[in-house]
Amino acid sequence: MAYIAVLGHGVVGSGVLEVLTTHTESIEKRAKERIEVKRILDLREFPDLPYSERFTKDFEEIVTDPEIGIVVECMGGLHPAYDYVRSCLLAGKSVVTSNKELVAEKGAELLALAQEKNLNFLFEASVGGGIPIIRPISQCLAANEVSEIAGILNGTTNFILTKMIREHMEFSEALRLAQELGYAERDPSADVEGTDACRKICILASLAFGTHVYPNCVYTEGISGVALEDVDFADVWGGVIKLIGSVKRLESGQVHIMVCPMFVHRGSQLASVDDVFNGILVRGDVTGDVVFYGKGAGKLPTASAVVADVIDCVKHMAARKYLFWEDAKPDFVADPNTADVTAYVRVSGETGDAAFAAAERVFGAAHVKRLLANSPKAGEAAFVADGETEATLAEKLAKLEAQGVRVENRIRISDY
Amino acid sequence: MAYIAVLGHGVVGSGVLEVLTTHTESIEKRAKERIEVKRILDLREFPDLPYSERFTKDFEEIVTDPEIGIVVECMGGLHPAYDYVRSCLLAGKSVVTSNKELVAEKGAELLALAQEKNLNFLFEASVGGGIPIIRPISQCLAANEVSEIAGILNGTTNFILTKMIREHMEFSEALRLAQELGYAERDPSADVEGTDACRKICILASLAFGTHVYPNCVYTEGISGVALEDVDFADVWGGVIKLIGSVKRLESGQVHIMVCPMFVHRGSQLASVDDVFNGILVRGDVTGDVVFYGKGAGKLPTASAVVADVIDCVKHMAARKYLFWEDAKPDFVADPNTADVTAYVRVSGETGDAAFAAAERVFGAAHVKRLLANSPKAGEAAFVADGETEATLAEKLAKLEAQGVRVENRIRISDY
């Protein structure tokens, strides 16, 4: 019998209990041992649950229990999750977590501690919900240098963008609908401003490139600035707008990492990832592009990823899994201003033609390609500018504004 | 130092050597040990290779070498691969193979032998080339009951269908192009008639449902009967034709398993899997649909999957991985005639209208929906018939033919 404890009985924590209860036999068969939840930590009371007597409000009861070998952390947030997880590892317990903030902010430290103690610290559920991604990157792609990862990592923003694209809903209306359906929080900023996607691409980047990338080093832009006009121009261009978290290894050994809305070509595997689904593209030198697709969130998919990690812990109590990365190095993350960029730009002026003519002068006619909207807004024009870096693009857009041309929006164009 | 031997220096075998040579350091880092190819078995001579002195024509040199702990089988075909793999396991060596025929025909026996000897028998490369699929199904989806798997499992046929769809090439012309590009063999029947896809869906079915399904129990239909007219009608219907290997668990505990061309709706994640790419959809009770996409074949992607298995073997010399399934059970595979089916049917008669009117009489007007081609062929009509089983569909098509209506083709419609 393998005894575990679950910290937090919220959406994911209660899902873990549900999966363990509904799949007891198949899980025992795979783990070669029965898995029993001995303790659940939550400050709330759940008197009506069949397992209500296992609840505790006292973390000490868990961390000092020698029978409990694995602790599942589903509290979310940094505190007290970080202190609890650290204490558990120090007390010789392996930890499984679904907490992307914890892994993105404290991954290197906790992995080092787990290694020192010869324990497992697993977090498959922290990225992509029920989609297997952490394990495939670390294991199956072991004989492969990953050069690039790009993903639709946040279901809420993808739902909103899908509504804007398919039903021509305004951003604010689509956000309200996402909130009504329970996909978005009352304070939606972590999703909408890209924070959640940023944490996830940090975890994937750290894993793939072996060096911790902290969220505060990552240029992050959300989708609140995306207008229906941009959706239309993306369609004219031949694609859709998606919120993409991406990281790319440079020849210098540094990485370019960024979260921002991007134009994605209709033929791309990422273009057809709609609604609350996630899709993650891993580009390897040997395998080429491999794409993983599925529900990136939700109680049960996430819980199933947590339980798969628990099973792996039970099977490897003596042997560590080979998840590991070093702590951050200075200059590992390249200055985002040096990145090459091709961008869609929407401008307005006295007339659309005049605004575009100004753009031709600033960028050079050979480097701008005008997009013609089906029903253009008066005074507006849009174009694709290539051959720039982030810095020169910003300069040229400033120059345009100095000439009285208003830059309404600019969205980067992906090559996935 | 971990010593391995490679059986067969063909496309995959030489790729394994290449990956081990070009990624030595990263592989050593992950395996925590250097991996050295001590022996390569091939009847041919390769005097110009830097590692030419390691070749042998004598299998005994490998199987009796106590230093060699892992044998990689990349010979393909059943004989002598099967005898060699069996001998290696009996001699206490773990085996990694890319040979789908071997796994599909002898998997249960070899897995049982590996279990008895406490060795690993791994075959990630046998399905989906460089796409991680065997490991995700067996591990990440451990806390999840798989209900259904459907995949585009053969790159050659997918290339041919993509050419028919995108460039309106005839089947024979697209096949010739595939042969010129090296995607298809001179004798293309294993690809074109679905044999290769059948072996792969057998492996996935055996793994997901724990009982060996042998290829000769699987209804298999290839793509040589697909005409450009069918491609056009699929477009009118709203999708594309793909060769799909599928398996579905029934409430009875049996499985429906089949390989055949199918209409796939444009919105499906499988519809955008084009050219030589593979895509595999795994439907779980907890995770929902998860899709894996990538290059399903090719020297280096396949070799990278083989090497990932080798790394896993090196890391788990003492502990077996939990790949396992039982041998076949009678009646595990349900009679294909009992499967529910919705099908596209293309018929011809004196006129298209007359042929369709006959279909309405035979199927009942409520159960047929006519598809109108953009440029219909004289005398032809096409429709979708629902609410049938394979048996009743066959009966009704026979009835139509008895009334002088010719059934030109019928293609099943998928719900993926």
Could you tell me the CATH number of the domain that includes residue B346? 3.30.70.250
Matching residue, tokens 């253009």: A376
Q: Flag if A289 and B303 touch (Cβ within 8 Å).
A: no
Residues of chain B with pLDDT under 50: none
- Answer yes or no: do B307 and B291 share one domain: no
Q: Flag if A19 and B286 touch (Cβ within 8 Å).
A: yes
The answer to whether A116 touches A259, Cβ cutoff 8 Å, is no
Instruction: Tell me whether residue B331 is in a domain.
Output: no
Which residues touch A60 (CB under 8 Å, ≥6 apart)? none
Q: Flag if B287 and A300 touch (Cβ within 8 Å).
A: yes
Q: Flag if B290 and A292 touch (Cβ within 8 Å).
A: yes
pLDDT of amino acid B319 = 65
Instruction: Tell me whether residue B324 is in a domain.
Output: no
Determine the distance in angstroms separating the CA of A301 from the nearest CA of chain B, rounded to an integer.
4
Nearest Cα residue to A92 out of A121, A64, A119:
A119
- Answer yes or no: do A288 and A311 share one domain: no
- Answer yes or no: do A109 and A198 share one domain: no
pLDDT of amino acid A297 = 84
At B398 the three-state DSSP class reads helix
Q: Flag if A26 and B289 touch (Cβ within 8 Å).
A: no
Which run of H or of E encompasses A341?
strand A340-348
- Answer yes or no: do A308 and A390 share one domain: no
- DSSP one-letter string for B294-308: EE---HHHHHHHHHH
pLDDT of amino acid A316 = 77
Q: Flag if B269 and A267 touch (Cβ within 8 Å).
A: no
**Interface-testing mutation among B286, B307, B314, with chain A (most A C-beta atoms within 10 A):** B286
Helices (H), B214-336: 228-237, 299-315
Residue of A nearest to B32 (CA): A322
pTM equals 0.94
- Answer yes or no: do B62 and B99 share one domain: yes
pLDDT of amino acid B138 = 84
pLDDT of amino acid A319 = 65
The answer to whether A139 faces chain B, any CB pair under 8 Å, is yes
Alpha carbons A261 and A279: distance in angstroms, whole number = 15
Instruction: Tell me whether residue A203 is in a domain.
Output: yes
Ordered per-residue pLDDT tens for chain A, 416 residues: 999 999 999 999 999 999 999 999 989 988 889 999 999 999 999 999 999 999 999 999 999 999 999 999 999 999 999 999 999 999 999 999 999 999 999 999 999 999 999 999 999 999 999 899 998 998 766 788 999 999 999 999 999 999 999 999 999 999 999 999 989 888 999 999 999 999 999 999 999 999 999 999 999 999 999 999 999 999 999 999 999 999 999 999 999 999 999 999 998 999 999 999 999 999 999 999 999 999 988 899 999 999 999 999 998 776 666 688 999 999 999 999 999 999 999 999 999 999 999 999 999 999 999 999 878 899 999 999 999 999 999 999 999 999 999 999 999 999 98
Helices (H), A94-170: 100-116, 134-135, 155-167
Give me the residue from A140, A289, A312 closest to B132, CB to CB: A140
Residue numbers of A annotated as active site: 200
Instruction: Tell me whether residue A224 is in a domain.
Output: yes
Q: Flag if A132 and B139 touch (Cβ within 8 Å).
A: yes
Alpha carbons B239 and A147: distance in angstroms, whole number = 34
pLDDT of amino acid B298 = 87
- Answer yes or no: do A211 and A138 share one domain: yes
pLDDT of amino acid B380 = 96
At A384 the three-state DSSP class reads strand
Instruction: Tell me whether residue B395 is in a domain.
Output: yes
Instruction: Tell me whether residue A323 is in a domain.
Output: no
- Answer yes or no: do A144 and A290 share one domain: yes
Nearest Cα residue to A264 out of A243, A286, A285:
A243
Give me the residue from A142, A269, A294 closest to B290, CB to CB: A294
Which run of H or of E encompasses B385?
strand B380-389
Instruction: Tell me whether residue A29 is in a domain.
Output: yes
Determine the distance in angstroms separating the CA of A369 from the nearest CA of chain B, rounded to an integer.
27
Q: Flag if A144 and B131 touch (Cβ within 8 Å).
A: no
**Interface-testing mutation among A127, A304, A310, A316, with chain B (most B C-beta atoms within 10 A):** A304
Q: Flag if B303 and A288 touch (Cβ within 8 Å).
A: no
User: Encoding tokens for residue A141?
Assistant: 């792609």
Q: Flag if A269 and B293 touch (Cβ within 8 Å).
A: yes
AA letter at B316: H
Give me the residue from A23, A132, A322 closest to B136, CB to CB: A132
Beta strands B68-73 and B94-97: pairing type?
parallel
- Answer yes or no: do A174 and A277 share one domain: yes
Give me the residue from A136, A291, A310 closest to B136, CB to CB: A136
Q: Which of B238, B265, B295 is at the close of a domain?
A: B295
Alpha carbons B139 and B198: distance in angstroms, whole number = 23
The answer to whether A319 faces chain B, any CB pair under 8 Å, is yes
Alpha carbons B360 and A19: distance in angstroms, whole number = 48
Determine the distance in angstroms separating the CA of B377 from the nearest CA of chain A, rounded to an integer.
31
Alpha carbons B260 and B269: distance in angstroms, whole number = 18
User: Encoding tokens for residue B226?
Assistant: 């697909």
Q: Flag if B136 and A135 touch (Cβ within 8 Å).
A: yes
- Answer yes or no: do A109 and A62 share one domain: yes
Q: Flag if A322 and B300 touch (Cβ within 8 Å).
A: no
The answer to whether B34 faces chain A, any CB pair under 8 Å, is no
The answer to whether A123 faces chain B, any CB pair under 8 Å, is no
**Interface-testing mutation among B34, B287, B311, with chain A (most A C-beta atoms within 10 A):** B287
- In A, residues 262-291, which contact B (CB 8 Å cutoff)? 267, 269, 271-272, 284, 286-291
What is the residue range of A390's domain?
338-413
- Answer yes or no: do B63 and B107 share one domain: yes
Residue numbers of B annotated as active site: 200
Alpha carbons B219 and B248: distance in angstroms, whole number = 13
Domain of A391: which CATH number? Answer: 3.30.70.260
- Answer yes or no: do B188 and B259 share one domain: yes
Instruction: Tell me whether residue A110 is in a domain.
Output: yes
Determine the distance in angstroms separating the CA of A16 from the nearest CA of chain B, rounded to an integer.
10
- In B, residues 287-306, which contact A (CB 8 Å cutoff)? 287-295, 298, 300-301, 303-306
Please report the beta strands in B219-265, taking only residues with DSSP state E, as ranges in sequence order: 219-220, 239-249, 255-265
* Cβ neighbours of A293 in B, within 8 Å: 269, 289-293
Q: Flag if A293 and B295 touch (Cβ within 8 Å).
A: no
Describe the crossing of helices A352-363 and A390-402 by its angle, rounded to 10 degrees.
130
Alpha carbons B282 and A301: distance in angstroms, whole number = 13
Q: What is the ipTM of this complex?
A: 0.91
The answer to whether B115 faces chain A, any CB pair under 8 Å, is no
Residue of A nearest to B130 (CA): A287
Nearest Cα residue to A103 out of A59, A132, A73:
A73
Provide the number of structural domains found in chain A: 3
Give me the residue from B287, B303, B316 closest to A130, CB to CB: B287
AA letter at B182: G
pLDDT of amino acid B412 = 98
Q: Which of A249, A283, A315 is at the close of a domain?
A: A315
Determine the distance in angstroms separating the CA of B286 from the nearest CA of chain A, rounded to an integer.
6
pLDDT of amino acid A228 = 96
Helices (H), A245-325: 299-315
Domain of B209: which CATH number? Answer: 3.30.360.10
Which run of H or of E encompasses A346?
strand A340-348
Q: Flag if A290 and B293 touch (Cβ within 8 Å).
A: yes
- Answer yes or no: do A173 and A255 share one domain: yes
Give me the residue from B32, B290, B301 closest to A131, CB to CB: B290
Q: Flag if A300 and B319 touch (Cβ within 8 Å).
A: no
Determine the distance in angstroms separating the CA of B9 from the nearest CA of chain A, rounded to an integer.
18
The answer to whether A339 touches A389, Cβ cutoff 8 Å, is yes
**Interface-testing mutation among B98, B120, B144, with chain A (most A C-beta atoms within 10 A):** B144
